Structure 1
Amino acid sequence: MSPDLAARITLEEGAPLLQAVVHHEAEANQLRVLAIKGPSLAVLGLRDPRPHADIDVLAAPSDLDAVVAMMEEIGWRRALESTAPTLLPAHSVNLLNDWWPLSIDAHHYFPGFLAPPDAVFEALWCRRTTVELAGAPVLTPDRVAHAAIAALHLLREKRPETDDLELELLVQRAARTLSVHDLDELVDFAEVTGAAVTLGPFLEALGRPSGTVTGPGHHAQLASWNKRVSSPRSSTWIYQLGSSPLRRWPQLIWRAVLLSDDEIRTFHGGDGESLLRARVRRLRRGFRSVPRAAFDLWRQKAREWVLRVWRPT
């Protein structure tokens, strides 16, 4: 693709076209990939069409490296990776191309599903369907599974000013497009993928009960999820301090305050914004989150201390 052609592709056109390209390449290389969110969600009737700055694909965990290599062979490259701490494990590789106006997020699992990534992908693969994007067939999860993915995304990235409304709209769309049988299958799907609790607000809004945590290791994963959805992103530095020895605090605080110029540009800069302005805005946002995060951390440590000291007889 030439730069002139890339300049004429809009975000509305680029997302379905790029999904079709990824699907075509994956099929040619016998790799299992599903289009998630984005234009496929709109085709399924769970969201209105909209422009997208990136596309999301979910690869079988064992295929992810091959999918990234496949895209690198046709001109894509890995984006800069953030060194900031996270409450949830890294779940995707971001890919960029100078000739496309949008990026690719290649996932090997999707946060909120607490079951093992392999098991989650197989459950999604069993519920795959085909949608037409840019005139080509593309594999994607069906309405039941895709409703779960969309809800987990909104619950994880919750921003009070927008996502309460977006979640409400998703509930309305799901209520209109999913049959009673589909809703029962949604509950079963949530149980199988370990998302019965993380999807609780969405299921309850649809008149279905949320489940309980039953899988091995799910309690620890759920605790990380709950921290993620209830805390500002900048508070992750506070949580990392709380889990690190005091001798590492100066190094961590220095890193938190002074990320590299590339990280500031990539993850915190606005269009046309100077580095200094982006740094100041990031620090202000971070300092606002400190009291809440510090209180949550203190409460967690106090609970752990009580459990160590007090043993019921």
Structure 2
Amino acid sequence: MGSGTFELDAATQLAHALAATIARGLGVRALSLKGPIAAHYALRPPRASADADVLIEPQRFAEFCAALESRGWHTRVGRATPALLPQHSMTYIHSDWPCDIDVHWMFPGFFADAEDVFDVLWSSRLEVSLAHSPVQAPSKAGATVIMALHAERDRRSPKHAEEHELVLTALNETFTGTERDEFVEIARAGRAVWTLRDYFDTADLSPVVVDADVEQQRQWELFSSCVDDASSVAWWRHVRAASWAQKPGWILRAIWVSRKDMPRNDPEEVPSRRDMWKYQAHRWRRGAGATLRYFSNKR
């Protein structure tokens, strides 16, 4: 069965069902997120998603990933690189599936301990049906917090701006008082009130408290202000923080990617030299533009 054998929307829903089935078999707690869950709660119009997002209880994350890998799923080839936010997920692909599965152990924008965040989302979970299979999902309020956090990552993006407006519409027009209270409780428990301060103010939810420390605020603001250039900015921040003896090595790593480390789906297919130079040229153009924008904005 090739990746074009079934449609993306059906594949994504089946991927959620698969993840839920694997988790049940292991006795692992797992929550389906975003896409079809948001549509289930009428938080956004139904549409196909390119991936299935699942949140796994952090202590069992590695176990779940191993079970997924035993069924033929694998991560893309690529080297570890600096990032502006802590790594929060692993993306899995399969040669017979047209969608990815993004396996999360945390969700960006929450600043509480990942286990505490999972517990509060799990405590109010509901069971929904995807691909005629039961999956566990956050409550309507929990799913809305997730959607709001995702929107806040880049409000300049039309897609994220749309999500922002859909969340505000839900909070102001369709949420019951109990659901609004639950939204506030989840945000407070997950230390996400500061991240979601615009929703708290605009929807008149409750007073905003600063529940992220100075470094967490700085990281979030930097990421959300240059999300399109995040990779390049992270490299240059890493170079600037390195000792003088280490800077040349980090600059070389930032500039050059070997053929074996080029991102790709199939680990057995090493790119040709022509493909390598094409990829390098693309990275250099993109990196140069990102670097200029970063240093221009710092002035």
Give SS of 1:131's match.
strand
Give the Cα–Cα distance (whole angstroms) in 1 for the partners of residues 280 and 38 of structure 2: 35
Deviation sequence 1:4-60 (CA, Å, 0-9, x none)? 5x5321101111111111101211211100001121111111111122221110000
1:225 aligns with 2:215: no
1:13 aligns with 2:19: no
- 1:133 corresponds, among 130, 134, 141, to 130
SS state at 1:8 partner: coil
* Structure 2 Cα separation of the partners of residues 192 and 280 of structure 1: 46
Q: Is the 8 A contact 2:240 2:247 kept in 1?
A: no
Preserved CA contact (<8 Å) 1:200 1:211: yes
Q: Deviations over 1:107-128 (max 9, x none)?
A: 1111110000010000110121
The Cα shift of 1:229 comes to 0.9
Residue 296 of structure 1 deviates from its aligned partner by 6.4
Summarize the Cα distance change of 1:86–1:276 in structure 2 as closer, same or farther, 3 Å threshold.
Answer: same
Cα pair distance change 1:276/1:177, threshold 3 Å: farther
1:56 counterpart = 2:57: no
**Are residues 1:164 and 2:161 paired?**
yes
For the pair 1:36 / 2:36, whether they are aligned, the reply is no
Assess if the C-alpha contact under 8 Å between 1:92 and 1:107 holds in 2: yes
Judge conservation of contact 1:191–1:211 (CA < 8 Å) in 2.
Answer: no
Distance 1:141 1:36 in 2: 7
Q: How far did 1:147 drift? A: 0.9
Aligned pairs for 1:279-290 within 5 A: 279-290=280-291
Q: What's the secondary structure of 2:48's corresponding residue?
A: coil
Shift of the alpha carbon at 1:78? 2.8
Do 2:30 and 2:57's aligned partners in 1 also have CA atoms closer than 8 Å? yes
Please give the alpha-carbon distance, in whole angstroms, between the structure 1 residues aligned to 2:206 and 2:247. 43
Supply the AA of the counterpart residue of 2:22: E
8 Å CA contact retained: 1:129, 1:142: yes
Match of 1:249 among 232, 241, 247: 247
Q: Which amino acid aligns with 1:288?
A: G
Contact 2:111–2:192 (8 Å) recurs in 1: yes
- Paired residue type of 1:145: G
- Residues 197 and 210 in structure 1, CA contact (< 8 A), matched pair in contact too: no
1:287, 1:54 → 2: CA distance?
Answer: 30
Pairwise mapping of residues 77-156 of structure 1 onto structure 2 (< 5 A)? Answer: 77-156=74-153
Which has the higher mean CA deviation after the structures are superposed, 228-237 or 154-163?
154-163
Tell me the equivalent position of 1:26. 23
CA contact 1:11–1:52 (8 Å) conserved in 2: yes
AA matched with 1:32: R
- Aligned mates of 1:90, 1:54 — CA distance in 2: 18
| TM-score (norm: length of structure 2) | 0.87
RMSD: 2.4
Q: Which amino acid aligns with 2:222?
A: K
- The residue correspondences of 1:283-302 to structure 2 (distance < 5 A) are 283-294=284-295
Query: What is the aligned partner in structure 1 of residue 183 from structure 2?
Result: 186
- What does residue range 254-265 of structure 1 map to in structure 2 within 5 Å? 254-261=252-259, 264-265=262-263
Q: TM-score, normalised by structure 1?
A: 0.83
Q: Which amino acid aligns with 1:115?
A: A
| Whole-Å separation in 1 of the counterparts to 2:57 and 2:69 | 18
* Equivalent residue letter for 1:219: V
- SS of 2:13 mapped into structure 1: helix
Equivalent residue for 1:306?
Answer: none
Sequence identity (%): 30
Structure 1 residues 114-146: Cα deviation after superposition (integer angstroms, max 9, x where no partner): 000010000110121111111111101011111
Secondary structure of 2:194's counterpart equals: coil
User: What residue is the counterpart of 2:271 in the other structure?
Assistant: none
Instruction: Show structure 1 runs of 5+ residues with no match.
Output: 268-272, 300-313
Aligned pair in 2 of structure 1 residues 282, 209: CA closer, same or farther (>3 Å)?
A: farther
What residue in structure 2 maps to residue 309 of structure 1?
none
Which 4+ residue blocks in structure 1 deviate beyond 6 angstroms? none
